[in-house]
Structure 1
Amino acid sequence: MQYTKNQLYQIAVQSLESKNVKQAIEACRLLNVQFPRFFEGWHITAELYFKLNKPETSLLSIDHALALQPAEPRVTLQKIECLLAMQKLVEARELLLEIAKTNQRNITKWKKQLSLYVLDKTAMLLGVQELRKEALLQTELAVSLDPENPILLYNLSTGLRFAGKIKESETVLDKCLALNPFDFEAQAMRSSLRKQTKESNHIQELESVLEDKKLPVQGKVNICYGLAKECDDLGEFKKSFNYLQQGANNRRARMSYDVNSEINTINVIKNTYQKEMFERNIVGNSNEEAIFIIGLPRTGTTLVERILGSHSDVYAAGELSNFSLELVKQINMNTDTSKLSLTELVKKSASVDFASLGINYINSTKPSTGHTKRFIDKLPINMLYAGLIHLALPNAKIINMTRHPMAACYAVYKQLFKDAYPFSYDLQDLAKYYIAYHRLIQHWKTVIPGVMYDLKYEDIVHNQEAQSQALLTFCDLPWQDQCLRFHENNTASTTASAAQVRLPIYDTSIDRWREYSQQLQPLQMMLEQAGISCD
């Protein structure tokens, strides 16, 4: 049977949607062979192979499509995604910035639906590349086309929050929630933007939404965390913890997670990277650009990043997963990592070429980095790899952030993370993980003594200038006064602390956990039984 191009196209689309891969591939092949000048045929073929995780093959179809319709925005964005997947970061970045510049004049020529898709997708890709200012402009353009769209308004408020425009972000969220009160992510984010007061808060509105039977479970989680934050701001501590526990319990109940599995992996790391490993004269790469800030989340890692990032010789690159990704690539050179358990992966990691790992990591951070003497990677979970980082990059600086154990645990427990840190939603899980983390840090101090710089959150809060000077000295950086005025730094922050980093250092959170000492007592007992002082 002979199909028309439109019939073949519909078969390809429907097959792709129903995940009938074999039929989709055949339909696309026939489209491309029989109708080589049919633009949509190459477009759907590119989409198919990208979804099959074959960006190189997808890119071939994209180039055919762009030869027929140069600079077509949907396919150009598809090309950027392929280039990113292929780690062709410089080329992807250049093309992304080019399309961002042309969108403003092109949206007057396109249909509204196409304009909104292109602007939203461009903003998302710019955000992934940490180009936050450019991303915000794209979102603002999208909202100007559709000002009553709550999804776009939420995206705009997020961009404003990252940019430190907190008041503007709250105003946009108010509009978003007036259109859709059940946008529970928007509700929770609005609560986090500022300290609520008795005169100005959203507790009544949040409680009303929470009582609605139409609210899904994940919505209850977000609303409970928002209520916990606002009640804490108002000093209603018992009520705050009740909401917090309710939200955390609901979140934990929906997760398939075993903290003991993570603890086992940490123990394997310690057993694999013993003292002898560091006495083998392993030669890493001599590059000295990287400054790693490690520890648990919510222990001041963002604060220290902002202080160091205010220095003219330092670029704050954010929370990068690059080191672990490059480590897996190194292991993959000799082993199929898809068939390895986490513990097997750890054991195999000891045999990698650490010098190659080091330079591959550095190169993977470009083109974002490389334009200053040093850059910061502040992914807290890199504490798992501290010893490996030292083997790969012996001249890198590693700053280990610490905080009073109970303050650290409470700060983690009260934070609703998007995907990471699954141990944070149950006090027993949290205590177990903290103990394992504490022992791992002690292990690193034993096998690589003097390498990590310990910095207590409380010390930098109480003695900012002296601690900042010592920090810069450790990083081999000359003193600059603007490091004390980090809150004036207008670079974007995408962490849970995005609102707080716009303020000077404050000490109100240091002993906040003591307001909940009774509720946190089971956790404290577990820590103390493990020999961790909580005085």
Structure 2
Amino acid sequence: MHTNASQLYSLCKSAIEKNEIKKAIDACRLLNSQFPNFFDGWWLAGKIHLRLKKPQAGLISSSRALEIKPNDPMILIQRIDFLSMLSKHDEILEILSVLALHDSGDAALHENIAMILSAQEMHNEAIKHYLRAIKQNSNDPQLHYNLAAAYRFLGQVAKCEESLNTCLKINYLFADAQSMRSSLRSQSETDNHIDELTKAYDDPKISRIARVGICYALAKELDDLDNIKLSFRYLKEGSDIRRSSMSYDIDNDEQIMRAIEKTFDSASRVLSQPKKSVINPIFIVGLPRTGTTLLERILDSHSLIKSRGELDIFGIEMAAQVSKEQGDKRLTAKEMVSLSKNIDLNILRENYLSKSAPKNFSGKYFIDKFPLNFLYIGLIHRALPNAKIINLSRHPLASCLAMYQQQFRDIYPFSYDLEDLGRYYLAYYRLMSHWQSTIPKVIHSVSYENLVEDTENETKRVLEFCGLDWEPECLRFYENKTPSTTASATQIRQPIYSRSLNRWTKYNDYLGVLSKTLTEAGIDVT
């Protein structure tokens, strides 16, 4: 029998580490009942609640811990995890305001605080804590990389590059850092990193996954130097390695999009606008790398529009509601689609707006720029009939190549194989055509090429669609200081350039399988 707190603590902690959750729960209950003022017991209870995804119980255990040690940073960080599960954004900000003032000699704690601040888009505050962590542990390349990422989100390119250089002096095989540094600017014949990247590529110590990042970095810099043949060689190698590590099957996405077409096969009843005044969303949708971020920044520069970035909230709320109504029964994606047609639209609308709409903003619209919201357009229109939906398109080959050239993080698995890309593009094209025919005049289409070549007039048409007056600040979007976490975070800090519009044509000789997939389905790729 365990008679003291330290024994019970060790037993519980060991059980958690071994994933013996029932044993951990029993030990933790005994620990906290016999020793209610033992701080670490409530911390362990929180760890168990995180494993079990029980945020309400976790908030109770963290409150008990804070009664013993008020404002303990370890518990406050744990509490943020629970509040995030419940989308309690305002309460998270309150805790972050306390954590932002915290100072100690613990590098890991400052790194943890900084990462949470960055996740809440409080990048200036995050930078302060990364710098404190680096002061305590200057030889950790990950800290320098994280600091660089925060600088990049804010558009501070010089500081970003300086931090990446420091990171890579410590470990030049840090592939994510190499990739980010290569993406910051256009490389030249006299100023590039190709020798260092080639050395990293040839290093026998490099891991298979790190080689992917080095390949993408080499492809980017060689593209800048117009060495298209060698650029594509590295690009294909990196993509092939990345694709081989996935269990993704394009058939599933195609079937899901066909199921969406069948489920939402006609215009359906839509909700009436609520009596109380609300800020309505502008959904910017499309495939990634088609100019969605550019349009977002242009519109965010308007005084009556505020961007909330890439939100995946609508899809999550839809899925959560379907799951709840089905008693948390495991559902296939196609079953989820079929059942989504009958969910309570009022609940969906209220949950989405409460978690998405900006606080303390007196404008008219907020932007939700998650590209894959194109999947939910039928449901979006039913639940949010006053929402504006804008679809960005781009030349099919340019669109697919741009995705192929981008190493995404844990998203868009179809982008690592040219045939997959072609098939996904076709499924997207069919679904967008379906939406245009079943709910006409609801979606405003914007061509990326037109947006680049005739920015002012294209923007005026978008604003007219939204019922807004023209503001010249929209053309100075590159002066906008709002952070950006997208792959285009560097480009949007510069005036529009048309260099990339027809650059895809240089790769024509390498896009045969993609071009064949598209043309056989009737898509014009000329």
Cα deviation, residue 177, structure 1: 0.3
**Which residue of 2 is the match for residue 73 of structure 1?**
73
Matches within 5 A, 1:115-264: 116-264=107-255
Matched with 2:270 is 282
Instruction: Identify the range of structure 1 (174-183 vs 54-63) with the bigger mean alpha-carbon deviation.
Output: 54-63
Q: 1:518 is paired with a residue of what secondary structure?
A: helix
- Structure-2 residue corresponding to 1:386: 377
User: 1:389/1:369 Cα in 2 relative to 1: closer, same or farther (>3 Å)?
Assistant: farther
SS in 1 for 2:509: coil
After superposition, what is the alpha-carbon deviation per residue over 1:10-44, rounded to whole angstroms, capped at 9, x for unaligned?
A: 11111111111111111111211221111111111
Separation in structure 1 between the aligned mates of residue 449 and residue 219 of structure 2, nearest angstrom = 24
Residues 494-509 of structure 1: pairs in structure 2 closer than 5 A: 494-509=485-500
Q: Answer yes or no: is 1:433 the counterpart of 2:434.
A: no
For 1:2, the aligned partner's letter is H
Is contact 1:284–1:358 with CA below 8 Å preserved after alignment? no
Q: Name the aligned partner's letter for residue 270 of structure 2.
A: I
> Once the 2 structures are TM-superposed, how far is the Cα of residue 488 of structure 1 from its aligned partner?
0.6
How much is the aligned-residue C-alpha RMSD, in angstroms? 1.5
Contact 2:279–2:357 (CA<8 Å) still a contact in 1? no
- Residue identity over aligned pairs, in percent, reads 43
Query: What displacement does 1:469 show?
Result: 1.4
- The answer to whether the 8 A contact 1:310-1:486 is kept is yes
Once residues 370 and 391 of structure 1 are traced to their aligned partners in structure 2, the CA distance between those partners, rounded to angstroms, is: 25
One-letter amino acid of the counterpart of residue 196, structure 1? Q
Partner Cα distance (1:399, 1:349) in 2: 22
Partner residue in 1 for 2:98: 98
* Long gaps (5+) in structure 1: none
Q: CA deviation at 1:284?
A: 4.9
Partners of 1:359 and 1:175 in 2: how far apart?
Answer: 47
Distance 1:99 1:456 in 2: 44
Q: CA 1:171–1:441 in structure 2 vs 1: closer, same or farther (change >3 Å)?
A: same
**How far is the alpha carbon of 1:349 from its aligned partner?**
0.5
Q: TM-score, normalised by structure 2?
A: 0.97
> Structure 2: how far apart are the matches of 1:130 and 1:341?
34
Partner of 1:61: 61
Specify the alignment match of 2:89 in structure 1: 89
Q: Pick one of 389, 395, 399 that aligns with 1:404.
A: 395
By how many angstroms is 1:73 displaced? 0.8
Kindly provide the amino acid, as one letter, of the partner of residue 73 in structure 1: P
Alpha-carbon spacing, 1:338–1:412, altered in 2? closer, same or farther (3 Å): farther
C-alpha deviation, 1:82, in angstroms: 1.2
Amino acid of the structure 2 residue aligned with 1:363: S
Task: Work out whether residues 270 and 385 of structure 2, in 8 Å CA contact, stay in contact via their aligned partners in 1.
Answer: no
Return closer, same or farther for 1:197/1:369 CA change in 2, 3 Å cut-off. farther
Q: CA deviation at 1:77?
A: 1.3
The C-alpha deviation readout for 1:32-61, integer Å capped at 9, x for no partner, is 122111111111121121222112112222
Asked if the contact 1:181–1:209 (Cα under 8 Å) also holds between the matched residues in 2, the reply is yes
Partners of 2:366 and 2:360 in 1: how far apart?
A: 6
Question: Structure 1: which amino acid aligns with 2:271?
Answer: V
**Aligned 8 A contact 1:231 1:239 in 2:** yes
Secondary structure of residue in 2 paired with 1:147: coil
Specify the alignment match of 2:41 in structure 1.
41
Taking the aligned partners of 1:387 and 1:285, their CA distance within structure 2 comes to 17
Q: C-alpha separation between the residues in 1 aligned to 2:82 and 2:38?
A: 21
User: Normalising to structure 1: TM-score of the pair?
Assistant: 0.95
1:20 matched residue in structure 2: 20
Counting matched residue pairs gives 523
After TM superposition, the structure 1 = structure 2 runs for residues 356-375 of structure 1, keeping only pairs within 5 Å, are 356-366=347-357, 370-375=361-366
Q: 1:372 and 1:119 mapped to 2: Cα distance?
A: 36
Q: Deviation at 1:373?
A: 2.1
2:38 paired with 1:50: no
Paired residues of 1:89 and 1:367 also in contact (CA < 8 A): no
Matches of 2:328 and 2:235, distance apart in 1 = 38
Q: Shift in Å at residue 525 of structure 1?
A: 1.6
User: Take 1:228 and 1:95, find their aligned partners in 2: how far apart are those partners?
Assistant: 43
Cα distance in structure 2, aligned partners of 1:180 and 1:190: 14
Q: Which residue of 1 aligns with 2:282?
A: 291
C-alpha separation between the residues in 2 aligned to 1:447 and 1:244? 39
Residues 455, 475 of structure 2: 8 Å contact kept: yes
1:309 to 297, 300, 322: 300
Q: Secondary structure at the match of 2:510?
A: coil
Quick one: structure 1 residues 370 and 351, their matched pair in 2 at CA, closer, same or farther if it must change by over 3 Å? Answer: farther
1:457 shift after superposition: 0.4
Query: How far apart are residue 127 of structure 1 and its match?
Result: 2.1
Quote the Cα distance in structure 1 between the aligned partners of 2:521 and 2:233: 27
Once the two structures are superposed, what CA deviation does each residue of 1:293-330 show, in whole Å capped at 9, x if it has no partner? 00000000000000001111111101001100111122
**Per-residue deviation, 1:369:** 7.4
Q: CA deviation at 1:98?
A: 2.5
> 1:481 deviation in Å?
1.2
Aligned mates of 1:209, 1:394 — CA distance in 2? 53
Structure 2 residues not aligned, in runs of 5+? none
